Structure 1
Amino acid sequence: MKIVDVICTPGLTGFYFDDQRAIKKGAGHDGFTYTGDTVTEGFTQVRQKGESISVMFILEDGQVSHGDCAAVQYSGAGGRDPLFLAQDFIPVIEKEIAPKLIGREITSFKAMAEEFDKMTVNGNRLHTAIRYGISQAILDAVAKTQKLTMAEVIRNEYNPGAELLPVAVFAQSGDDRYDNVDKMIIKEADVLPHALINHVEDKLGAKGEKLLEYVKWLRDRIIKLRVREDYAPIFHIDVYGTIGAAFDVNIKAMADYIQTLAEAANPFHLRIEGPMDVEDRQKQMEAMRDLRAELDGRGLSVELVADEWCNTVQDVKFFTDNKAGHMVQIKTPDLGGVNNIADAIMYCKANGMGAYCGGTCNETNRSAEVTTNIGIACGAKQVLAKPGMGVDEGMMIVKNEMNRVLALAGRRK
């Protein structure tokens, strides 16, 4: 089967691009948007619409495979590639990439994806978002050629012989951390609520008291609203480094506080994502490693999730090798080609680290479907309900895709 044409269309994502540097410098709020000047190159507003590019391969039998190029909410920050605007990058795909795809015979996913993931133009690698979308379309093309689901293709190439099973779905609330929890409970999310605890005074509390009260509320709310007594979701709370900020990155003090959270969450299991951000990759690894050792030494039923400074396949392996946390968030758009997602998940599993197939609210329905297939195929510990921050949409897209894939693969089995 050959690719006979490549077509690109601009699209929207499920959230927005935010100028993180401007926000950190004190950009003001005006309803849902921000006020003030932009700081990061490429931004025209502190918050602007999220953009994507759909890349469609026309196959010689008339079928169409496609993937979506998308980038994270805080593009251009933290060492990431620049702001991803469709008008800037469609010409790159059409001029530099399409000619190398048209007329190509579709072979294995891994070989083709790695080729384009490593491709350079004028000595520079392609934007991560382009590599992300092109590799999705390649995966879909291989699946259509082989008449399999994308999960089966990935399983056969990366995890041969494994049984395809459901993966826990993690819903995120955004700032609406109360009403959105009710949605999650009604729809029985496996993991919840994210909660967006990104400010010490307003959300964590100077001594952690506000988050502690929220965890108690969360526990009581689930017990009150759940229909089934055995519904016991995992608590996964992203604190964006605020625990470290509140407790001066003192390992014992942070562990003492996290222990109070774990006790408040009982009987539910607790995960804390990004407990600190020390603004350096090596030091972040060491802090996560030491905090994990302290918590494990106390025998606590709590897990740490690495996020800050863990953005690439190399970072995932670095944190995994050093036991810097109990789980790693694999930020799917930041890895470029989706082949890297499979590599990262399999490495985590082989080395005793929980693999969270995550991403960003600023993706599309298509990228969510593709990465869900990869999470199933590789046996990730959990996948993110995405895109958006409204709960319902992301849960619908991810859960429905998972159910379809498992039913189709099960029929063939």
Structure 2
Amino acid sequence: MHIEDILLAPGHGAFFYDDQAAIRAGAETDGFRYVGSPRTPGFPAIRIPAETLGIGLVLSNGSVAWGDMMGVQYSGAAGRDPLFRSEQAAQLVRRELFPRLRNANVSSFRTSCASVLAPVDGQRLPTAIEYGVSQALLRAAADAGKRTPAEVICAEFGLPIPATPVPIYAQSGDAREINVDKMIMRGVDVLPHGLINSRAKFGAEGQTFREFVRWVGRRIRDIGDPGYTPILHFDVYGWIGQEISLDPHDIARFIASIADEVPGFQLHIECPADFGSLTAQVDGYGAIVEAMRGLGTTAKIVVDERCNTLSDIEAFARAHAAHLVQIKMPDVGSLADNVSAILVCKQSGVGAYLGGSCVETDLSARLSVHVAVATQADMMLAKPGMGVDEAVSIVGNEQSRLFAALARP
């Protein structure tokens, strides 16, 4: 099997790229838009539609293996790659990767990733390009071997064929109450994210956030099926550190007090603080974990900001500087590195949450299911978009189809 031709197809992400710095600084909304001047380099406005770039590898058997390149919602923040632009990416891919792809051995996923995605002039490729091209290479290897992408991953990384589904985590976006109801009615495993990304949503001393957590707990009890006890996972975008304190003991006490508001539920708090650099983040989160252990709380913290690439994830996992690590797939880059990131977390005894972004596509979301299931991640994000229904359908159905295929004699 070899690549006979290469196609590029500009496309649309399922949400918008947002300037996190401008939003944190208090940018106001006008309908769905943010008004004011952007603060993050590369953004022409605070909120812009997400661009993607599809790459199709035309194989010698006539099939086409597709992958999608894109950034993440808050591109350019906390050490992430700059804003993704499809035309700039297309120029780089045509110039540097087309020759490599035409010589690639598509029957081996890891080998083809290593050769095609090698640095250019000593510089690593943008992670968005690695992400999309590696998707196409994984699909090509699956096609060549007449296997599912999950089976390719298991074979090449020495993993057993999985038998257990991975819990699905849904995110609400700004339509919190309606989307929480949708999540409860669908019985998702982990909810609701909450998008607590501004001072208004967090509130003075965290009171608005605290009230929302209480409401979610009550709502589950009021309308959920008997015995339904999902994990409660809230992303606070560093606002505990900004509004309460950057002292790890103060942060731990605040999180423990939030857990007390929802007895009977496992609580996850994602991105409690941003300490400003990778080293400071590892040290700070490690101290929060220790302080929480001292308090005896069952709540867990999840790292996101400053934890982007495989090497970043290795630093947090080996230092046990979080209870769970969000592996934000477009930031990690190659799917091979995403697999390695999950395995590093599992080997270190740290939870692996295979995440990503609302700006992804149906194609990237479906392939992420194969990565999550093959590696038996602790949970995976329902994506793309912010509508709940579409994301849960895309990810949930792909997982169901995968296990049906794996069960076939």
> Which TM-score applies when normalising by structure 1?
0.95
How far apart are residue 296 of structure 1 and its match?
Answer: 1.7
Structure 1 residues 114-133: aligned runs within 5 Å = 114-120=114-120, 122-133=121-132
Structure 1 residues 392-403: aligned runs within 5 Å = 392-403=389-400
Question: Greater shift after overlay, 132-141 or 308-317?
Answer: 308-317
The partner residue of 2:292 within 287, 292, 295 is 295
Q: Which one-letter code corresponds to 1:186 in the other structure?
A: M
Counterpart contact for 1:116–1:131, Cα < 8 Å: no
**CA distance, structure 1, for counterparts of residue 155 and residue 255 of structure 2:** 40
Counterpart contact for 2:150–2:374, Cα < 8 Å: yes
1:391 maps to 2:391: no
**CA distance, structure 2, for counterparts of residue 387 and residue 315 of structure 1:** 24
**CA distance, structure 2, for counterparts of residue 77 and residue 344 of structure 1:** 21
How far apart are residue 224 of structure 1 and its match?
Answer: 1.1
Structure 1 residues 289-368: aligned runs within 5 Å = 289-368=286-365
Q: Which residue does 1:20 correspond to in 2?
A: 20
Counterpart contact for 1:4–1:103, Cα < 8 Å: no
Question: Greater shift after overlay, 367-376 or 96-105?
Answer: 96-105
**CA distance, structure 1, for counterparts of residue 286 and residue 174 of structure 2:** 29
In the alignment, structure 2 segments of 5+ residues that lack a partner are none
Q: Which one-letter code corresponds to 2:271 in the other structure?
A: G
Counterpart contact for 2:105–2:111, Cα < 8 Å: no
Q: Which residue does 1:38 correspond to in 2?
A: 38
Q: Which residue does 1:254 correspond to in 2?
A: 251
Deviation per residue, 1:180-200 (Å, 9 max, x gap): 100100111100001111234
How far apart are residue 103 of structure 1 and its match?
Answer: 4.9
Q: 1:41 to 1:251 in 2, by over 3 A?
A: closer
**CA distance, structure 2, for counterparts of residue 266 and residue 32 of structure 1:** 35
**CA distance, structure 1, for counterparts of residue 207 and residue 78 of structure 2:** 29
> Which TM-score applies when normalising by structure 2?
0.96
Structure 1 residues 185-334: aligned runs within 5 Å = 185-200=184-199, 202-227=200-225, 229-334=226-331
**CA distance, structure 2, for counterparts of residue 395 and residue 92 of structure 1:** 34
Q: Which residue does 2:105 correspond to in 1?
A: 105
**CA distance, structure 1, for counterparts of residue 165 and residue 46 of structure 2:** 39
How far apart are residue 13 of structure 1 and its match?
Answer: 0.3
Q: Which one-letter code corresponds to 2:142 in the other structure?
A: A
Q: Which one-letter code corresponds to 2:97 in the other structure?
A: I
Counterpart contact for 1:158–1:378, Cα < 8 Å: no
Q: Which one-letter code corresponds to 1:165 in the other structure?
A: T
**CA distance, structure 1, for counterparts of residue 247 and residue 103 of structure 2:** 58
Counterpart contact for 2:53–2:70, Cα < 8 Å: yes
Counterpart contact for 2:304–2:325, Cα < 8 Å: yes
Q: Which residue does 2:145 correspond to in 1?
A: 146
In the alignment, structure 1 segments of 5+ residues that lack a partner are none
Q: 1:24 to 1:254 in 2, by over 3 A?
A: closer
Question: Greater shift after overlay, 202-211 or 162-171?
Answer: 202-211
Secondary structure, aligned partner of 1:12: strand
Q: Which one-letter code corresponds to 1:323 in the other structure?
A: H
Counterpart contact for 2:358–2:383, Cα < 8 Å: yes
**CA distance, structure 1, for counterparts of residue 214 and residue 37 of structure 2:** 39
How far apart are residue 382 of structure 1 and its match?
Answer: 0.4
Q: Which one-letter code corresponds to 1:37 in the other structure?
A: S
Deviation per residue, 1:196-222 (Å, 9 max, x gap): 11234x222222222222111111101
Counterpart contact for 1:13–1:362, Cα < 8 Å: yes
Over the aligned positions, Cα root-mean-square deviation in angstroms equals 1.6
How far apart are residue 26 of structure 1 and its match?
Answer: 4.3
Q: Which residue does 2:93 correspond to in 1?
A: 93
How far apart are residue 265 of structure 1 and its match?
Answer: 1.4
Aligned residues: 409
Q: 1:82 to 1:254 in 2, by over 3 A?
A: closer
